[in-house]
């Protein structure tokens, strides 16, 4: 599951482009029908703990939902909590799972490279 803290409600009227989303959408297109493995899910859940900006995950999820004509403010059975929104990754489409997994993997690799 993903827990997003201090999340503001974003309007469905977003900019027509979100370059970060576009980049990860295109780079994972070939895997859109391939669900994450159990090991990838475990890695994701472990790694999400070390990310401080959870809003970016909501934005990726939200843009994906809008691009796929979902009107729900909190898509894919996400739950509003006191501290933010919780998503169950298994409730997300496989392509979105791949986008989120690829994003967090690249994000953490970039952080590790910058610390050396």
- Render pLDDT for 50-70 as a digit per residue (tens, 0 to 9): 888 888 999 999 999 999 999
- Torsion sign, CA atoms 52, 72, 78, 94: negative
What is d(CA 64, CA 45) in angstroms, rounded to the nearest whole number? 20
Q: In sequence order, what are the beta bridge partners of 84?
A: 5, 81
pLDDT of residue 6: 42
Query: What's the domain range around 92?
Result: 2-7+16-114
Instruction: Record the pTM.
Output: 0.83
Q: Which residue has tokens 């859109």?
A: 32
Query: Structurally, how many domains does the chain consist of?
Result: 1
76 confidence band (pLDDT: 50, 70, 90): very high
Q: In sequence order, what are the beta bridge partners of 4?
A: 85
- Asked if residue 94 lies in contact with residue 35, where contact means CB atoms within 8 angstroms, the answer is yes
């Amino acid at each position: 599951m993903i827990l997003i803290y201090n999340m503001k409600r974003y309007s469905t009227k977003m900019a027509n482009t979100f370059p970060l989303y576009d980049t990860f959408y295109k780079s994972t297109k070939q895997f859109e029908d391939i669900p994450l493995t159990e090991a990838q899910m475990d890695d994701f859940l472990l790694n999400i703990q070390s990310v401080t900006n959870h809003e970016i995950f909501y934005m990726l999820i939200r843009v994906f939902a809008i691009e796929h004509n979902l009107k729900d403010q909190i898509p894919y059975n996400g739950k509003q909590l006191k501290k933010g929104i919780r998503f169950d990754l298994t409730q997300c489409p496989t392509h979105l799972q791949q986008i989120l997994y690829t994003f967090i993997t690249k994000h953490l690799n970039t952080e590790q490279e910058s610390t050396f």
